[in-house]
Amino acid sequence: MAAELPPPPPEAREIFGVALDPATRFAQMLATDGVTRGLIGPRETSRLWERHLLNCAVVAELLPERGELVDIGSGAGLPGVVLAMLRPGIRVILLEPLLRRTLFLEECVARLGLPNTTVVRARAEDMAGQIRADVATARAVAPLGRLAGWAAGVLRPGGQILAIKGQAAEEELAAARPVLARLGAQSAEVLRAGHGRVISATTVVRVVIGGHGREEQAGAHRSRRGVA
């Protein structure tokens, strides 16, 4: 599978900068171990850079230089591992409930040399109140309404959700607005990360969670354990 991995496209050097070398090694891990362990589909190998790595990397432009980030349902490390490489000043928690995925993530962290990154095997709803991150990221994890409920429990007051979504992002946001209102969201918008830098900009829904009712939110999430 590694032989099918194309070289980094020209825009990868600009987007990743000094992190291009670890990003290339991560791509190799995804194309080999990631495929054999069922974390990445074999047909994805040829488009790992455009569809996955660059798609996640441009989200870094929405992040602060410092703080704490929790990547909910980190899976194969997209976007968590990519963002950890690009923002070494941010403490990154890769939150993933499945053992086979956490083992892969731990190997990635060790082999790529990411001292700012920790892997935690748990569901986001079980960590409500135990993590107080500044940013929560997620990619292909759950509909926005459900994701926002999980994320609210692991964010500090005023923290933000950055959810990577597809073409239906506007509709998904509209459907989630009643849930966001109950969670006390201060704002919610659809952004295009990487516009003008990559061929296909990444659609991101950004939600800023308010500071009221956080304890009630944490209790609500604990009561929903087991919901996938």
Quick one: three-class SS letters along the chain? CHHHCCCCCHHHHHHHHHHHHHHHHHHHHHHHHHHHCCCCCHHHHHHHHHHHHHHHHHHHHHCCCCEEEEEECCCCCCCHHHHHHHCCCEEEEEECCCHHHHHHHHHHHHHHCCCCEEEECCCHHHHCCCCCEEEEEEECCCCHHHHHHHHHCCEEEEEEEEEEECCCHHHHHHHHHHHHHHCCEEEEEEEEECECCECCCEEEEEEEECCCCHHHHHHHHHCCCCCC
Question: Mind listing the pLDDT tens digit for each residue in 153-193?
Answer: 999 999 999 999 999 999 999 999 999 999 999 999 999 99
What's the confidence (pLDDT) of residue 210? Answer: 84
Q: Cα-flanking dihedrals φ and ψ of residue 89, to 5°?
A: -85, -5
Bigger pLDDT: 199 vs 173: 173
Domains and CATH numbers, the chain: 65-222 (3.40.50.150)
Check if the beta carbon of residue 204 is closer than 8 Å to that of residue 188.
no
Tokens of 92: 């990154």
Question: Mind listing the pLDDT tens digit for each residue in 26-70?
Answer: 999 999 999 999 999 999 999 999 999 999 999 999 999 999 999
pLDDT band with cut points at 50, 70 and 90 for residue 20:
very high
What's the confidence (pLDDT) of residue 187? Answer: 96
Bigger pLDDT: 41 vs 3: 41
Residue 85's nearest CA partner among 29, 127, 9, 128 is 29
Question: Mind listing the pLDDT tens digit for each residue in 201-216?
Answer: 999 999 999 865 444 4
Check if the beta carbon of residue 218 is closer than 8 Å to that of residue 153.
yes
Question: Mind listing the pLDDT tens digit for each residue in 93-131?
Answer: 999 999 999 999 999 999 999 999 999 999 999 999 999
Mean pLDDT of 140-145: 94
